[in-house]
Amino acid sequence: MSATVGIPRALLYYYYYPQWKTFFDHLGVKTVVSRETTRAILEKGIKSTVDEACLPIKLAVGHVLDLKDRVDYIFLPRIVSTARREYICPKFLGFPDMVRNNINNLPPLIDNNMDLYRKGSSLYNLFYMVGRYFTHNPASIYKAYKASMESLHVHCRDMEAGRLPFETGGKDNQNYRTRDGGVHDVTIAVIGHPYNIYDRYISMNMIKRLWDYGADVVTADQLTETAFRREAGKLPKQLFWTLNQRMVGAAFYYFERPDVDGLIHVASFGCGPDSMTGELIERYARRSSRKPLLNLTIDEHTGEAGMITRLEAFMDMVRWRRHLDDVAATL
C-alpha cells in the first residue's frame, strides 16, 4: 500500500499545489489536501499557536491539525527563498519548527529546504531530498521532478492567461464556484497574498462578492514575473521579500492600466511586511493615480457586515469616479 502525504491548504499551496501533486503522483504516493478552511480549523490553529504569530500562520497550523491523523507524512517544505537574492517571510522559514514544537503526535514532517537564494541553487535539490523518502531510484525522482516542473509551468501560464489559482488544476484546487458569466462593467485589482485572497473563509468570499457586484477581478498572480519586477523596479530600493515585491509591482502596474477602475489591497493582521507594502501602495496612489484604493486588513474575526459595507461603498465610489471621468471626456 502506498504512503499518504498530507498537504495543508495554506500558505504557498495556491502557487505550488499542482507541482507538488504531480511530483508525488509520479512516485506513486497518494496526496491528501486538508479540508477547506472553516471556523473550527481556524480556532484549532489559534489555540496551538503563539499569540504573536500572524493570521496566515495560525490558519496553516489549523490545516496541519486537520491532516495529522489522516496521513503518513505531512509535507511542509521549509521555504527560505524562491528567487535569487530574495527571501520569503521569516515565519515561513520557521514554520516546520513551530509546528513540531506546538503539536503533539504528529506524523513525520517532510521539511526539506526550498532555497534559491544563491546563484546556482536549484529547485531539484528540494525534490531529490523529498523523493528519497519514497524511493532510492534517482531516475524515478528526476522523471517526477521534470513532470512536476511542467505542471508548474502550465499552472503559471494559466494564471497569466487570466485564470485564478482555484480555477486551474484538479478539483482539490477549486474552492470557488465558476464565474457566472454575467455582465461586469468595472474591473477591480485585488492585491494580496494568495493565502489571504484565495481562501474563501479568510477573505470572506471577497472575490465572489466582487463578481456578484458586477466586477471583473484581476490579481498580482496574473502578471508575468517580468511585468511585476519591472514595475517594482520603480522603487528607489529593491524589496527583498519576493511576495511583497510581486504585490507592489502589480499595484503599480494596475494603477497605470486604463481598463482597471480601482484597487483593493488586502493585508493580514500581524503581518509586518504587509504593513510596509500597504504604505508604499498608498503613497503611490496619492502621488500618481486618481483611481480609488481600498485598504482592507483581515483578522480572526468572522463578522461579515464590515467587509460587505466597505466593499459596497468602494464599488459605489469606483462607478461614481468612472462616471465623472466619462463626463469630463465629453467636455
Q: pLDDT digits over 129-148, tens only?
A: 999 999 999 999 999 999 99
The pLDDT value recorded for residue 168 is: 65
Where does the chain show beta strands of DSSP type E?
Answer: 4-7, 30-33, 73-75, 78-81, 109-110, 113-115, 186-192, 215-219, 262-268, 293-298
Eight-class DSSP state of 185? -
Q: What is the DSSP string of 257-268?
A: -TT--EEEEEEE
| pLDDT tens-digit map of 90-118 | 888 899 999 999 999 999 999 999 999 98
Instruction: Give the orientation angle of helix 39-47 with respect to helix 55-67, to 10 degrees.
Output: 100
What proportion of the chain, given as a percentage, has pLDDT over 90? Answer: 71
Does 187 or 164 have the greater pLDDT score? Answer: 187
How far, CA to CA in Å, does 61 sit from each of 32, 54, 221, 323? 16, 11, 24, 46
Provide mean pLDDT across the span 18-24. 96
Whether the pLDDT of residue 277 is over 80: the answer is: yes
> Which conformational region is residue 11 in: left (phi greater than 0), alpha (psi within -120 to 50 degrees), or beta?
left
The reported pTM is 0.90
Instruction: Yes or no: say if 203 and 266 are a contact pair by the CB < 8 Å rule.
Output: yes
The rounded distance, in Å, linking the Cα atoms of 244 and 274 is 7
| pLDDT tens-digit map of 46-91 | 999 988 888 999 999 999 999 999 999 999 999 999 888 888 888 8
Q: What are the φ and ψ backbone dihedral angles of 248, each rounded to 5 degrees?
A: -65, -45
Instruction: Quickly state the pLDDT bin for 213 (edges 50, 70, 90).
Output: very high
Class of residue 276 by CB neighbours under 10 A (exposed 0-12, middle 13-18, buried 19+):
middle
| pLDDT tens-digit map of 299-327 | 887 678 888 999 999 999 999 998 888 88
The pLDDT value recorded for residue 303 is: 76
Distance of CA 84 to the CA centre of its chain: 20
Write down the mean pLDDT value for the chain: 90
What proportion of the chain, given as a percentage, has pLDDT over 70? Answer: 95
Residue listed under C-alpha cell 462616471: 323
Instruction: Quickly state the pLDDT bin for 181 (edges 50, 70, 90).
Output: low
The rounded distance, in Å, linking the Cα atoms of 179 and 125 is 38
The rounded distance, in Å, linking the Cα atoms of 115 and 121 is 7
